[in-house]
Every structure is written in C-alpha cells, then in structure tokens.
Amino acid sequence: MPLFFFSFPNSNPLRWTISLCHDIKLTPPNLTPLASSTQAQNTQYYKDPTFSTITSSSPQDQLLLTLLKQRKTDEAWLTYTQTRTTHLPSHTCLSRLVSQLSYQNSEEALSRAQSIITRLRQEGQLHRLDANSLGLLAVAAAKAGHTLYATSVIRSMLRSSYLPHVKAWSAVVSRLAGSADDGPVVALKLFGSVTRRIRRLDDRALAKDSLPDTAAYNAVLNACANLGNIQKFLQLFEEMPEFGAKPDVLTYNVMIKLCARAERKDLLVFVLERIVDEGIAPCITTLNSLVAAYVGFYDLGTAEKVVQAMREGRLDLCKILRDCNVAKPDTVDTDVSDLFSILLPKSVTGKVTDPPLLPKPYPPDSRIYTTLMKGYMKEGRVSDVVRMLEAMRHQKDSASHPDHVTYTTVVSALVKVGSMERARQVLAEMARVDVPANRITYNILLKGYCQQLRIDKAKELIRDMASDAGIRPDVVSYNILIDGCILVDDSAGALAYFNEMRAQGISPSKVSYTTLMKAFALSGQAKLAQKVFNEMVKDPRVKVDLVAWNMLVEGYCRLGLIEEAKKMVQRLREDGFHPDISTYGSLANGIALARKPGEALLLWNEIKGRFEGGKDKTSTPSPPPIKPDEGLLDTLADVCVRAAFFKKALEIIACMEENGISPNKTKYKKIYVEMHSRMFTSKHASRARQDRRIERKRAAEAFKFWLGLPNCYYGSEWRLEPLDGDDTVGSSV
C-alpha cells in the first residue's frame, strides 16, 4: 500500500531505493486503520487521507509544496523558517521537506532536518512524519557519521510502531558494525530489535519491505566478525533462510574476517572452498581478504604464493593453500572448534576430498599488490615496498598500476621510518603521474612531521594541502595538529587548532576532545580539562569513554589533588566504567606527588584484587581482571619503601617477580640507605614501643635481606649501628 512517491534528479537508484519504500504508520488522529484489530495490537498500518493528494487548503502549504515539487529545497526551507513560529505545515510538506533535506547529504541540510525533528518532538507532532522521511533521515545521519543519532531515529520509529524500510535500518546497522567502541554491540541489538518486531506480526507480508535481506545480514555478520563472536555469527548465519536471505560472496568474505579474528589461519582455505562448492563465484575482494588475512598473521610467504598464483592464472589456489596450511592450533577452545565445524564442515574431513578449482583466473589488481605491500611495511621492509611500487608501474594490465592507495602506502612506509624527504618526493611524483593525493595521504605526512616535532613543517603542509591540492583539512587533520602541539608542550596552540576546527564547521570527534584534555592534563591545567570534558558530555555526536575519564583523573593527579581524582574515579564507576591500568597509574603517581602513603595502601588492596581475577568488591558487577603493569607497581613500591611500609613493599615486589617484572633493586637500596639506615637505633624507647614495632622490624629485616644488605638473617662485619639496639624509629623516619 504505497503512499506518495517522489524521485530526485540525478539520483542513484541503488543508493536511494529507500525513497520508494512503503509507509507503516503510527496512529495519528482521524486516520483509518487498514490492519485487523489483532494485527494492530503489535504494529499499526494506516493510510493518511492528507497523503492521498498533494494539495492543501493552506496558502503556506501550497507554496511550500510547490517549491518542494520543483526541487527548490533551500527555498522551501527558507519558506518554512519564515512561518514556523505561526504555522505548522501539513504531513505531506513536512515529510517531503525532511526527505529532501536528508537527500542533500550535507552537514547543513542534515542539521536543518534534525531541527524539524526537534520541533515536532517538542510539540508532540512527530506523527506528522512518515516512515519514508524518517528512514531517509536515518540513512543521511549514518552516512554523515552521526551513528548515535541515526540509531535513535530507528529506535524511535520502532517504539512508535513504525517498521523502517530494510534499506534504512540496515544502513544504520552497517555503519554501527564498522564503528569504534561498542558500535558492533549496538548493531547486534538494533538488528535484534527489528527482527523481533517482525516476528511478532501475524502476517509478515505486511512488512515485506522491512524484512532483513542478504545485505542486512552481511552487515550484522560483519558486526559479529568485528567482535569475534563466533556463536552469534553461526546463529545469524543459520537463520538467514527464515527471511529468504541467501549467503552471497560478501557473506563468506566476512567469514574470512571471522576466521582471522579467531586466529584460525588453518580455516581460511576452507572458506574459499565452501564459496566454490556453493557455486558462488569468488570476487577479487575475496582473494584480497585472503591475502590481507595472511598478512595479518605475518605469514608473508603464503600471501606471496597467493599473489604469484594469481599472476600465473592458476585455478588450483585451494590446493596451494592446503599445501601451505598449518595444523589446528593446540590452544583452540573445543566449543569454538565445534562452531567452526558447523560453518565449515570440510575443515573436519578436508583432507579426504580433493580441493576444488576456481571457476576462472583472477589476475591481481592494484589492491592485491597494495595489501601485500602493507605486509612488507608492517615488517619494516621499506626497500621491498619501494621495489613493488616500481614493479607495479611496469605491469601491462592497467588494473595493476599503482593508485592513490598504493602511493599512500609507500608514503606511510617512509614516514614510519622517519624518511620525510623521500615521502614528500613520492607526493610530488603522484602529482607528476596524475594520481591525485587525497586527505589520507596528507594526514599521514602531517603525523610524520608532528612525530618529529617539526610543527612548522606541519603547518606549511596543511597550507599546501588547501592551496595546492584543494583539500580541506578534516577532523583527523586537526587531531594530528592538536597532538603535535602537545608533543612540543604547546597547550595554547592545541586549543587554537581546536577552536579553528570548530570555526570551520568541523565537528570535534571523541579523539579531538580527549586529545585536548590531554594537552591541559599534561600541562597541569585540570580545570580546563574539566571544561573540555563537560563540553564533550554535552555533545550528542560523541560518547564519553574511559580515555576521557582517565585524562580527567590524570589532570587532577598531576597537581596532587587526590581527593578530586578519587571523586572522578567514583563518577566513572557510576557511568558504567571500571578503572584500568591507566587510571590506577595516574592515581599512583598522584599519591606519590601528594605524599599520602596511606592512600597507596588502599590503592594496592584494590589493584591486588583485580590482579587475582576481578575480585574487587567496590564495583557491581565485578570488574574484569587487569594485567600487572611495571610502571604502576614500581610507583606503588617506591611509595611504600619511602614510607617504611616494608611488608606491603615486599608484597608488591613479589607480585612483580611472579609476573616477570624485574624490580629496580638498586633504586630501592638507595632509598633505604638514605632514609631508613638508622631505623630502630634509639636506646631510650620504652618496652611498649619496642613490642609494638617488632612486626615492623621483622618486615624491615626481610626487606634488607631481599636487598642484600646486612640483616639479622645472616652475619656480617659491616654495621651502621648495633642490631640489638632498642626498636625505635630514628628521626629520619
């Protein structure tokens, strides 16, 4: 039951199929339900009479609709803004305006569409928008990187009994699957929300445009692969037939990624064999994924054999990989192995059958060569990177000639070894051979200059980037410059670049905020770090993470403000995070600066519980275990030795030795001799004081024994004072 449809000039039909979706409506007033009462209990389907014709009795609506029909979106927006305080447009006008603004695919247009949503939400009129417009808005927000907003739009539609078109909600799932932080987890939850809603319908045909297709499953399977969640991957893979979705070559490409994440190099060949056995033609991306997987395993030998076989046009690639294959790792979990045996049955009895042949030769293209080149770069083989670039230039097949990704890889390899002049020569060569450098190329060069503390060169490059190449810096460019300012201890410069970025209309990312917080934290400006943190909390486009909290804790600890730092730690716990090594390291350094050894004992008790497997009882649920860190333990041991807490110092030292960390015995010996060599030497202490300090003396003697200093456990001619003196701490304590 389609409602109104409209097309856009010069539109890509594959990209914007969502604009032809069917609308599944919320219950607005004066609408006639088209679903039975039983069906309406779950999801309501309605036809709005105002959508039957695109006319309106209001002159403002008629003008707005005329402008929208003529694709004069900017003029339509201006008309809307001029009357929005006195007039609320009709359903048709609002839906069309939001749709066309979303389709413009620009930050300004997206902001305008979001302002309409905000107004309608405040006035309780969100039902005036149809599913088509909301779906387009979600897609536009996801493409612009506003995945949190896009997710909220889809969830709002589900709560309001809309079922978004599969092109809309799967686009959001796809973006979430590849995003940082908990994006893949949110992608799984969003996919589950949609499919659960569909399963509750009595007649799925009513939601045929919302049913998950192969592309939707590929997106959520990619989320599973990124998480390394094999069990969920298998569950979703096996439920694809329920919705009529069939695995395609992209599905198996994602399976290659899953095997790589699970560190099962032995299974890669069986994914390729299953593709061929299923009658699916592998694509060049399949083979690139295989090469990338072997590169990720640092198995350049096998990666080179794959590329060479492709160059020779061989069809027996499966046999080649079988011959190179390694046995299943001994440390593989039995349950994991069982899951993979269901996904890849031939991995259990693979040696019994002959490996299949590829349906056709696949000559390597520039992407394959570049992937192998990245493997050389990872191993520091810069000469091989440059040699491969030269070889690609002389290839007869134009598809194998170096492209901007290839050249950028060479630039990255040279920057990695600090050869900035040669990297600039490659940039000049790109212009000479008419392969335009992109923003990524320039950002890599920027980072190289900043790492070498050549900030003047970085500033010069960013000017050339805009004037010569016509490329505007993006948020990554500014993040690199902000971090470069930090490296040269220029917090004012970091703030200047942050403000310049916002003045250019570039939205700060999470990295932008945390990097600026780092600048203020390292310079001891905790209050300014707090202000940046507060701005980050208010920004709906970013999500505060543990890195931001740690920067805040670091800022206070550098000033020795332990109480304020502890308050931040409590707040991060309330926000659902657990302190990590970085958090504890900052606290330990702050305690040392503030000279509060009692706090060190409390901190050690908490950390010790985390080392033992997450037994810390201060948080609910129990925090995950953490690995011992040399810097953290050394700082705590230092504080305890200086405070004469020798028993605790020995505990920490024992923990270091058990975890393969060598304590700095020379440093501790120096501290002991300088601060505590005259302990327990007073001849006038009372017997009561002597009795109270027996345990302390025992701990001190044990610590001296560990240091190799004369102690009561073995004899020596060397004495600072008679060991049988009264047990009173000297004035140095």
33 bridge partner residues: 46
**pLDDT of 440:** 95
Contacts of residue 53, Cβ cutoff 8 Å, sequence gap at least 6: none
Q: Alpha-carbon distance 142 to 625, whole Å? A: 35
pLDDT at 255 over 60: yes
Contacts of residue 370, Cβ cutoff 8 Å, sequence gap at least 6: 402, 403, 405, 406, 409
Supply the pTM of this predicted model.
0.77
Residue 449 contacts residue 457 (beta carbons within 8 Å)? yes
- Residue 34 CA neighbour count, 13 Å, CB half: 13
Higher-pLDDT residue of 22, 393: 393
Higher-pLDDT residue of 483, 679: 483
The 10s digit of each residue's pLDDT in 561-576 is 999 999 999 999 999 8
Q: Among 144-148, 270-274, 603-607, whose mean pLDDT is lowest? A: 144-148
Residue 232 contacts residue 262 (beta carbons within 8 Å)? no
Name all contacts of 224-227 with Cβ < 8 Å and 24+ positions apart. Answer: 224/184, 224/188, 224/258, 225/254, 225/255, 225/257, 225/258, 225/261, 226/177, 226/178, 226/184, 226/257, 226/261, 227/184, 227/185, 227/188
Residue 638 contacts residue 674 (beta carbons within 8 Å)? no
Q: Is the peptide bond before 9 cis (omega within 30 degrees of 0)?
A: no
The 10s digit of each residue's pLDDT in 160-204 is 888 999 999 999 999 999 987 789 999 999 999 999 999 999 888
Banded model confidence at residue 718, pLDDT cuts 50, 70, 90: very low
Q: Alpha-carbon distance 474 to 110, whole Å? A: 18
47 bridge partner residues: 32
**pLDDT of 83:** 86
pLDDT at 295 over 70: yes
**pLDDT of 719:** 40
CA distances from 557 to 14, 358, 534, 568 (A): 54, 61, 18, 11
b/e per residue 311-332 (b: at least 16 CB within 10 A): beeeeebbbbbbebbeeeeeee
The 10s digit of each residue's pLDDT in 91-150 is 999 999 999 999 998 989 999 999 999 999 999 898 889 989 999 999 999 998 889 899
Residue 268 contacts residue 321 (beta carbons within 8 Å)? yes
The 10s digit of each residue's pLDDT in 256-270 is 999 999 999 999 999
Q: Among 267-281, 312-326, 702-716, whose mean pLDDT is lowest? A: 702-716
The 10s digit of each residue's pLDDT in 655-680 is 999 889 999 989 988 998 888 876 66
Angle at 44 between CA 40 and CA 50, to 5 degrees: 135
Q: Alpha-carbon distance 498 to 512, whole Å? A: 7
**pLDDT of 723:** 42
The 10s digit of each residue's pLDDT in 16-70 is 333 323 333 333 332 222 232 233 333 333 333 333 334 446 888 999 999 999 9
Round the CA-based radius of gyration of the chain to a whole number and report it: 32
**pLDDT of 330:** 59
Q: Alpha-carbon distance 558 to 593, whole Å? A: 8
**pLDDT of 620:** 56
**pLDDT of 453:** 95
pLDDT at 687 over 90: no
The 10s digit of each residue's pLDDT in 457-468 is 999 999 999 888
Q: Alpha-carbon distance 99 to 116, whole Å? A: 11
Nearest of 180, 193, 264 to residue 226 by alpha carbon: 180
**pLDDT of 686:** 63
Q: Looking at 452-539, list the stretches that DSSP marks H as alpha helix, in order from N- to C-terminal side.
A: 455-467, 475-487, 491-503, 510-522, 526-538
Provide mean pLDDT across the span 234-250: 96
Higher-pLDDT residue of 707, 366: 366
